[in-house]
Amino acid sequence: MEGDIAQMGQFIGAGLASVGMGGAAIGVGNVVGNFLSGALRNPSAAGGQTATMFIGIAFAEALGIFSFLVALLLMFAV
């Protein structure tokens, strides 16, 4: 065993921060799942809404990317 307690905190913090990426996964899954269930009810209206779906995915995913960024900063920049 080597290293100091600050480094331990850094690694634990990075691990905790990456939990947030799971939230982004749930969010993106929700968006696409709801889009699909709506699209199967009314397939003729689905084509025009794919762009909206991608915008929703992008917004949900951005927050997951933020937590990934925090993890990376803890690992490599602190």
Partner 1 sequence: MATEAAGAEHAKEGGLVFHPMDQFIVKPLFGDGPVGLFTITNVTLWMALTILCVIALLVLGTSSKSTIPGRVQSVAELVYGFIRKMVEDVAGKDALPFFPYILTLFLFILFSNFLGLLPMAFTTTSHIAVTAVMAVLVFLTVTIVGFVKNGAGFLSLFWVSSAPLPLRPILALIEVISYFVRPVSHSIRLAGNMMAGHAVIKVFAAFAPLILLSGIGVLVTPLSILAITAIYALEVLVAFIQAYVFTILTCVYLKDALHPHH
Contact range with partner 1 by CB under 8 A, out of 8-16, 28-36, 37-45, 49-57: 49-57
> For residues 16 and 58, which CB has a smaller minimum distance to partner 1 in the complex?
58
- For position 39 contacting partner 1 by CB under 8 A, the verdict is no
Residues 57 and 25: beta-carbon distance below 8 Å: no
A 10 A CB-CB count for 60 gives 19
Q: What is the 3-state secondary structure (H, E, C) of 31-62?
A: HHHHHHHHHHHCHHHHHHHHHHHHHHHHHHHH
- What is the nearest approach in angstroms of partner 1 to the Cβ of residue 61? 7
The binding site for partner 1 (CB under 8 A) comprises 48, 51, 54-55, 57-58, 61-62, 65-66, 68-69, 72-73, 76-77
